[in-house]
Structure 1
Amino acid sequence: MAQHSTQRDVTGEHLHLVHELDAVPAEVFRHLVDPALLARWFGPHSVRVPVESVVCEPFPGGEWKLVMLDTATGTPYPVSARISEIVPPRLLVFRESETEADDATVHGLRLRVELREHGDGHTVMELHQGPFPPDTTMAGDTAEGWVQAFEKLDALLSGRDAPEPTGS
């Protein structure tokens, strides 16, 4: 199974990513809503997600949250969202809670993940996220984190272990 590249479009306050995966939409969807699976791939290479930190209530209004831990420093990076729309195995839409990052406060980021069947046993994942605070690098930094997470997801879906977290 091949590792696929990710198409990126990061413009201002929004990001748009498209990534092909070697699995059917139902399998990819499971990796978005099953806490044990989500913990194995979510976040950039420099973090790990303790499975006990993951909550996923796969229904409108349900919680979707986890804590990424920086493997070098132990710094926690919580992610907390509410599912606003869900259509298994094709669509997840989240509204993230207000968070603070560096000197900017992020107000209610919206995350939309769409899954489309593409050929025999493949899925195209299309991800939209924003708005990020203006005049920051948050959209680009977040896009890079997603690309690294997709590398881990590629490995899991192809039957390989996800890469071990690396130090920052």
Structure 2
Amino acid sequence: MVRFLENRFHYTPHFILLGNSAGGHLSMLYAYQPDSLKKIKAVINIVGPADLSDPGFKNYQDYSFVEKRLVDPSQSKPETSPIDFVSPVKWIDKTSPPTLSYYGNTDHVIPSTQGKILDSILNQNHVIHESYNFNGGHLDWDQSPTDTFLIDKIDLFLKLIDKK
């Protein structure tokens, strides 16, 4: 994706990745994997799964499907389980980009532990991050007044990291 944009527009920008649910997961996964060119400036994760090995996911009705089909076993490394391979928190290190996360307190898809796990790993690695909870479920983040709160937090977060 990044290479396509660079080739298409003939310049080398820095990117801010933002995603909701699976998009949040993919944004974090891409951003946290080793990036020698450090093109990802920040990640904004809205209700994205961060650690698929979290026992809280076992209650999710489609977890067995995710566990068996999310990653092609030939793509993961022998020393890493397929679930760890596709868990963004397993890739976080001190060079990971700043991250803003937003999770619902009544989400029945993403366990409430995901934000805590993500924050803990980001803290351990001294990565700039902010995390917020909203009243609602998985798809309620874009409802008023939650949406305005999120937009304001994104704006402040981006201004903060732009100074760095």
Higher strand fraction (1 or 2): 1
**TM beyond 0.5:** no
Higher relative contact order (CA 8 A, sep 6+): 1
Higher helix fraction (1 or 2): 2
Q: Give the TM-score normalised by the residue count of structure 2.
A: 0.28
